Amino acid sequence: MKRFLFLAALLWGAVCANAYFEVGGLRYEVTSEEAKTCRVVRLGYGVYYQMDEVWIPDEVYHEGNYYRVTKIDDAAFVYCMCTSMRLPSGLEGLGYQACAFCQRLEEIELPGSLTAIGTRAFQHCQNLRSVRIPYSVSRIDDYAFLDCWKLESVDLPNVESVGEGAFQNCNSLRSLHFSYNFRSFGRSAFPYENIESISIDGGNPNFDCRNNCNGLVESATATMVMACKNTKIPSTVTRLGDWLFRGFGFETYDVPNHITGLGKGVFDSCKNLKSVTIPSGVTELDDYLFNGCSSMTEFTIPDQITRLGGWVLTGTGIEEIVIPASTVDIANKAFSECPKLKALRVDEGNAKYDSRDNCNSLIETQTDALIILATPNSFIPEGVKVLTSNCIDRITLDYLEVPESVVEVREGAFCRSNIKKIKVLCTNAQWHDYYAFDPINNNSTVYSVQLPEGMTEINFSLPSSLSVLIIPSTVEKLRATQFNHLVSCGYYTKNLHHIVCLAKTPPMPNWEYGNMSDPGYYPFDNYEDCTLYVPKGCGEAYRNHPWEWSKFKEIKELTAGDVNADGNRNTADVVAIYSYIINGTESGIIDYFADVDENLKVNTADVVNVYKLIIEGDAGQ
């Protein structure tokens, strides 16, 4: 009996703790029956408070009890049209977007009981001009005041940490003063380019503003970590910290000669930046250093640089990159997404890397590993053995040939690549089981893949964007899940419209790679729209096959010279190939059929060959 009463008491406490009630037009939820506390909650999903003035009492009366209001819940006043807001004196917490998008709110006074301002608590309160932050607040979370454009002043009397983007886009702010206790801040915490002065209480154990520099210096490392439009770099500072000038509008910048280190993203998103002078003491260009500097069209990597970080030049307008002999550590995404890059070459004296055969690619010499395929003029030269992860990241090419020398293709090698046609020549390469084309994220845009003669088994997945797949005559086995894992592990197969299988004997499944009856696999569901092309005389073998081949609605037998793939070889094919030469195509099946002499070029020689096949008839098969 006692156990029953105890359980009943717990159940009743849980019910009470979740009780909702309304007082004075506001909705509350009991948070603790024992402590008699509650919080303000939103009216309902998609239902917003519309009063001009919000007055939240210190406590509210409900069913014979007074409850202290200690929190404003997540999104409680989101989109409220109030012009003023009075908060309870015992408020301890502001939830996620608690007062976000209150576009008419002009000022707010926070009570002395509050210890933290929650994530996006006042986001996009675009008319908010002033906020009184009490001494009790030690933490301002990420994006707390994001897009409060008119916020003119903010006092941080005892704040220890400011989150990422906390005051981002608060472009009316002009000065910042930090307390003795201030110790950390996130990226883009303030709109630094608009700030005119930065100061901090003397004796702060973490930072100082030496020489009235209008910036924050991390004392222990002599690193300038916060700067504004009027910052002067003192001679005692040796390093520029992460994201220091992110988004600044200057066109040129000469890094002072006494600087020996540059942090991540120092000039990130400086869209007007055209030139930067790097002093001789700097030996590394860290991640994102010039990311998004779209006006930068020229940059010479200094001879003393030993390391280039990831995305160091991403989004710049640079047309040529020369890797000096000193650079022996390059991240594989150093030059990712450089849209105007036309040439990449490595100094002949570099002992680590090369760009052999003028391939406009970065290769690790000792391992023959492709690190970066950098430009639309790049190719993979014969002799390369390994395609490393992300080595063909975010590049646009009409055609790419994977040479016979390649023995390994690693995870994500073709990640986010935009290539119309890939021809694979390596027959025995080890492909990463699923992710060579990053199929899980479906980020590759590859329309056509032709696999090599001599390959006996296909045991890797292909990109979801694939429209044409050419399977060589030597293939005997496909992974058992090849049709449901053929593209993007089976999630998207609608793009695949043409499969050319040159094997006279229909390839069989290799059950080592999965069981087709496993309900966890997604079936290939494009048999209605995908045409299967097979060798002449082999149509029935595929139509009557006990495995997946028989499911294709349309199975066509290949005829040499049948450029338009209509099953006939006649003058219409000559017209089709002329049209292809003149107008081009969007990587359809004609890309394969039009190259009659298989020299990777479609030209008048192929027209001649088509004429010969028409004249010779079956003798030309």
According to DSSP, residue 429 is labeled: -
pLDDT greater at residue 6 or residue 615:
615
Confidence band, pLDDT 50/70/90 cuts, at residue 442: low
Give the pLDDT mean for 127-149: 95
Length of the chain: 621
Q: Residue 95 contacts by C-beta under 8 Å, 6 or more apart in sequence?
A: 71, 72, 73, 74, 75, 76, 118, 121
For 244-301, write each residue's pLDDT tens digit: 999 999 999 999 999 999 999 999 999 999 999 999 999 999 999 999 999 999 999 9
Task: Quote the CA–CA distance of 132 and 150 in Å, as a whole number.
Answer: 15
Residue 503: closest CA among 539, 460, 474? 474
Phi, psi at 379, each rounded to 5°: -150, 165
Return the ∠ at Cα 339 (arms to 338 and 343), rounded to 5°: 70
Supply the pLDDT for residue 609. Answer: 82
Supply the pLDDT for residue 617. Answer: 67
pLDDT greater at residue 135 or residue 591:
135
Give the pLDDT mean for 562-572: 79
Is the Cβ–Cβ distance between 581 and 605 less than 8 Å?
no
Supply the pLDDT for residue 517. Answer: 45
According to DSSP, residue 206 is labeled: S
Decide which of 1.10.1330.10, 1.10.10.60, 1.20.1440.130, 3.30.470.20 is the CATH code for 559-620: 1.10.1330.10
For 587-602, write each residue's pLDDT tens digit: 567 767 777 776 667 7
The residue whose two tokens read 């009027």 is 230
Is the Cβ–Cβ distance between 479 and 458 less than 8 Å?
yes
Q: What is the chain's mean pLDDT, rounded?
A: 87
pLDDT greater at residue 154 or residue 141:
141
Express the helix, strand and coil content of the chain in percent, nearest 5 each.
10, 25, 60
Same fold, 15-177 and 559-620: no
Phi, psi at 180, each rounded to 5°: -60, -30
Reply yes or no on whether the pLDDT at 469 is more than 90.
Answer: no
Indicate the range of 65-74, 319-328, 351-360, 428-437 predicted with least confidence. 428-437
Residue 560: closest CA among 529, 587, 537? 537
pTM: 0.81
Distances (CA, A) of 528 to 84, 358, 544: 62, 45, 17
For 505-535, write each residue's pLDDT tens digit: 999 876 654 444 444 444 566 788 889 999 9
Q: Could you write out the DSSP letters of every residue in 340-353? A: T--EEEE-TT-SSE
According to DSSP, residue 6 is labeled: H
Give the pLDDT mean for 189-205: 95
Is the Cβ–Cβ distance between 105 and 126 less than 8 Å?
no
Name the region of 503 (left: φ>0; alpha: ψ -120 to 50; beta: rest): beta
According to DSSP, residue 47 is labeled: B
Q: Could you write out the DSSP letters of every residue in 169-203? A: T-TT--EEEE-TT--EE-TT-S-GGG--EEEE-TT
Tokens read off for 211: 């020489």
pLDDT greater at residue 74 or residue 459:
74
Reply yes or no on whether the pLDDT at 111 is more than 60.
Answer: yes
555 DSSP β-pair partners:
532
Indicate the range of 258-272, 407-421, 579-593 predicted with least confidence. 579-593
Reply yes or no on whether the pLDDT at 487 is more than 80.
Answer: no
Reply yes or no on whether the pLDDT at 579 is more than 70.
Answer: yes
Give the pLDDT mean for 238-247: 97
Confidence band, pLDDT 50/70/90 cuts, at residue 18: low
Give the pLDDT mean for 159-184: 96
Decide which of 1.10.357.140, 3.20.20.140, 3.80.10.10, 1.20.1250.20 is the CATH code for 15-177: 3.80.10.10
Supply the pLDDT for residue 520. Answer: 42
Is the Cβ–Cβ distance between 426 and 402 less than 8 Å?
yes
Q: Amino acid identity, residue 86? A: R
Query: Residue ranges of the domains in the chain?
Result: 15-177, 385-465+472-527+535-556, 559-620
